[in-house]
Structure 1
Amino acid sequence: MNEAKTLVIRGNLVDIINRRTFGAEISILNGHIGKVIPTGQDEGSYLLPGFIDAHVHIESSMVTPAAFIHAAVRHGSIGAVADPHEIANVMGTEGVEYMLDNAKGIPFYTWFGVPSCVPATIMETSGAIIDADETARLLEREDLHFLAEMMNYPGVLNKDPEVMRKIEAAKNAGKPIDGHYPLATGPKLKAYIESGISTDHETIYLEKGREKCELGMHVLIREGSAAKNFDALHPLLKEYPEQIMFCTDDAHPSFLNKGHINRMVKKSLDLGYDLYDVLRAASYNPAMHYKIPAGFLREGDSADFIQVNNLKNLTIQATYIQGTCVYDGEKCTLPFHKPILRNNFHTKPIPLEKLAVKAKGKQMRVIVCEDRELITKEELYPVHTFDGFVESDTERDILKLVILNRYQTAPPAIAFIKGTGLKLGAIAQSISHDSHNIIAIGVTDFELMQAINAVIKAKGGIAVSSMDEVTLLPLPVAGLMSDESLEETSRRYEEIEEKIKRLKTPMDSLQMTLSFMGLLVIPSLKLSNKGLFNSETFQFTSLFV
């Protein structure tokens, strides 16, 4: 019988518990740190606690948890607090279990929670419902660790019985409750926190962040693909070091391929913030709040740490998790296998005539959007017709927007949108928050049909149509995730981005903006698969006036 080997590593150890840094030799045996011996000299490289993403939807990276982990460890991450909200809206509890199974056995703290808002509203067709009873059952599981972001803040404030039952279930299970209340203030914020909600990752203004911290909330500074709030919120690192965490929320493939939580650590240190406060936000605070058993370079701790060249460049030389070197400075050492495919995609290809819109008035309501913004406006415009049918009008930047039910064959919902600047072609995708029906925008009905049907044929993906050419990024896992590695998915995603740029849109990320045009809980005018929807009155409205 072979005896377990002791691994010895030297470096300048950064002890964030006692706020000191010293040259040290550490020994690792059976996944834990045995001895920490001071060497009394500068050891060159530095040993730091590994980073933890305090809030992320792994599905937004368009890869499975296993592929996400492969990328994250390259950037010094050892864990992620993950809300499987997207796949839950498509597949319900089966989707949550898929994420758990895919990450199982991989040395990484993939800390999943129970989605709290499935579906986000009843005004659209989703693939599943997770009610209060199912939420309580899931919260009893040892592999689900918190109640994920409670987006239904009106339900909390109005004490909606179903919402309160979910919150009580989390309290009874002794598990944290994540929040989602961006502009909260005053008595409403206090009531929201008093319900038991302890975090918020949607803060965009410094004063709002300060108010939340003063009331005892943990504020997550977010820097991801969609929202970037670091520049506004970084003073909180110094003012409330014990209550701040770092998160990405959504990290698209090309974003994650280039960096993760290490981006915010480096930015913070470049701004002159205290090393120990920064590392608390990147590791210790999320570990303590979510009870993640990660180690912090102490004797007896799990051997979870990273080795970097220095504290300026933060070049990751190695990542260790539970004593295993999962990244050696050049490549991830973990094996990668093609995942099992699971999906919920049943609609049939759409014929061209289903995309025609007969003019039924002289004016119509138009969704007005901005690049990377979730909030839209409603404006009235004269209809642009040909033979009695309303068409896209590139001169006025008013284009046809389509949402098609992916869960069953049904007529499409069609509206018009301004602000994308699209001049050519069409884009369709099965990423459309929160129910993830197919959403598409296009200049001609033919190109719209091509793009939509390419997504349907693949049972999920992002398709760009221009003339007779269609480029597709397949997303066969729940219509949200690729079955490829992050590197390959990133390459194909960048190819899609390049094709979109050729359609002459000035937007930085049209596909990202498009994905939120069906998010009914965000004002003002949005499109559901059931019709045009006013998010302020929370009622359907007519296209024509």
Structure 2
Amino acid sequence: VRRAIEEGVDPVKAIQMVTINAAEHFKVDDLFGSISPGHIADVVLLSDLEKVKVDTVLVDGVIAVSGGALKIDIRRTEYPREAKETVKIHKVLDQRDFQIKAKIREGRVKAHVIGVVDESWKTKHLIEEVDVVDGNVIADPSQDLALVAVIERHRATGNIGKGLLKGFGLREGAIASTIAHDSHNLIVLGMNPIDMAIAANEIVKIKGGIVAVAEREVLGKVELPIAGLISDQPIEVVSKKVRHLDEVLREMGCRLKAAFMVLSFISLSVLPELRITDKGLVDSVRFRLIDIFV
């Protein structure tokens, strides 16, 4: 709300956008979205409307904040052991798990390639000529072409889907993450299979999160041990690690404004046009699995 007002939106309109408008959109305005008889609402009182300066907060009828100060104790959530043991990989991964074998020894072949779009969940279904060296498809920074893999991580099935991705901007190294909508398997993007394996194994070691690797060295990571999605560290610590990881990614060549968001949607197979899961490439326009090669 504060940011919207800073960008010129009328304060009342900005508040309307996040209250009654949202409730009406999801058709729950009979219960939520306004402070009125018969409705459910927590209440935020402001001392300055345009600056959205919070003075008092009521939650479930209890004053949680008064005069800008917290008035209640917030208990630390204790998560069960099984919530912290969700990265289950069938073995220690190595470079062979990320190599894409071609039908030729040397040369060029046509392949289906995922084309990313910055600040968007959309992808493009591209057909590109790619290089084959020693029987393996290789990443090519001159074409902004990277290797990508999705590893099933909930039941240790051993499923690994492999593919190619264009537009992420990496010149070196690899990045791995357990934030991969909606199945949240382990997704790895990289310029060489060795760094990809190191990044993936580091993810297993920290029980989920995001890891960046270059020249066989872990350069940055954000641990997300709760379901591979949530941190158990203070927000100040997590924020610092995320900023560092973003800086590392830029040093590795990525210029996307929303790199982590783009990466997290690459495996969401219900969205067009081309995706990748632990079963392989998915043509989500034609609703079918397809081979890497044309």
Q: TM-score range by the shorter chain?
A: 0.7 to 0.9
1:488 pairs, out of 237, 248, 252, with 237
Q: What are the equivalent positions in structure 2 for 1:57-456 lying under 5 Å apart?
A: 261-264=1-4, 266=5, 270-272=8-10, 275=12, 278-284=14-20, 286=23, 289=29, 291-292=31-32, 295=35, 304-321=42-59, 322-326=61-65, 328-329=67-68, 333-341=72-80, 342-343=83-84, 344-347=86-89, 348-360=91-103, 362-407=109-154, 408-456=156-204
Give 1:329 deviation, angstroms: 2.2
Distance 1:338 1:502 in 2: 36
- Structure 1 Cα separation of the partners of residues 16 and 130 of structure 2: 56
TM-score (norm 1): 0.47
Displacement of 1:305: 3.0
Name the Cα RMSD after superposition.
2.8
Name the amino acid aligned to 2:150. I
Q: Which amino acid aligns with 1:503?
A: M
Secondary structure at the counterpart of residue 382 of structure 1: strand
> Which amino acid counterpart does residue 318 of structure 1 have in structure 2?
T
Shift of 1:336: 4.0
Partners in 1 of 2:79 and 2:262 — Cα distance? 30
State the Cα distance separating 1:526 from its structure 2 match. Answer: 0.9
Distance 1:405 1:524 in 2: 22
Give the letter aligned to residue 424 of structure 1.
Answer: E
- Paired residues of 1:354 and 1:411 also in contact (CA < 8 A): no
The AA in structure 2 aligned to 1:319 is: V
Residue 412 of structure 1 and its aligned partner are, at CA, apart by 1.7
Q: Which structure has the bigger radius of gyration?
A: 1
SS at match of 1:309: strand
Give the secondary-structure state (helix, strand or coil) at the position aligned to 1:384. strand
Gaps of 5+ in 2: none
Q: Closer, same or farther in 2 for the Cα pair 1:422/1:328, shift >3 Å?
A: farther
CA deviations on 1:14-39 (whole Å, 9 max, x unpaired) are xxxxxxxxxxxxxxxxxxxxxxxxxx
Taking the aligned partners of 1:490 and 1:434, their CA distance within structure 2 comes to 24
- Structure 2 residue identity aligned to 1:283: T
Normalising by structure 2, what TM-score?
0.84
Q: Percent identity?
A: 27
Q: 1:519 aligns with which of 249, 252, 268?
A: 268
2:54 counterpart letter in structure 1:
I
Name the residue aligned to 1:476.
225
Deviation at 1:535, TM superposition (A): 0.7
Structure 1 residues 332, 372: closer, same or farther in 2, change over 3 A?
Answer: farther
* Alpha-carbon offset, residue 302 of structure 1: 8.6
Letter in 2 for 1:291: L
CA positional deviation for 1:461: 0.6
Residue 368 of structure 1 aligns to a residue whose secondary structure is strand
1:541 aligns with 2:290: yes
Q: Residue type matched to 2:94 in 1?
A: P
Paired residues, what number? 279
The 1:447/1:328 distance shift into structure 2, 3 A limit, reads: farther
Q: Deviations over 1:130-177 (max 9, x none)?
A: xxxxxxxxxxxxxxxxxxxxxxxxxxxxxxxxxxxxxxxxxxxxxxxx
Any idea what SS the aligned residue of 2:175 has?
A: strand
500, 512, 528: which is aligned to 2:277?
528
- For 1:240, the equivalent position in structure 2 comes to none
The alignment partner of 2:188 has SS state of: strand
Q: Which runs of 5+ in 1 are unaligned?
A: 1-260
- How far does residue 445 in structure 1 lie from its aligned partner after superposition? 1.1
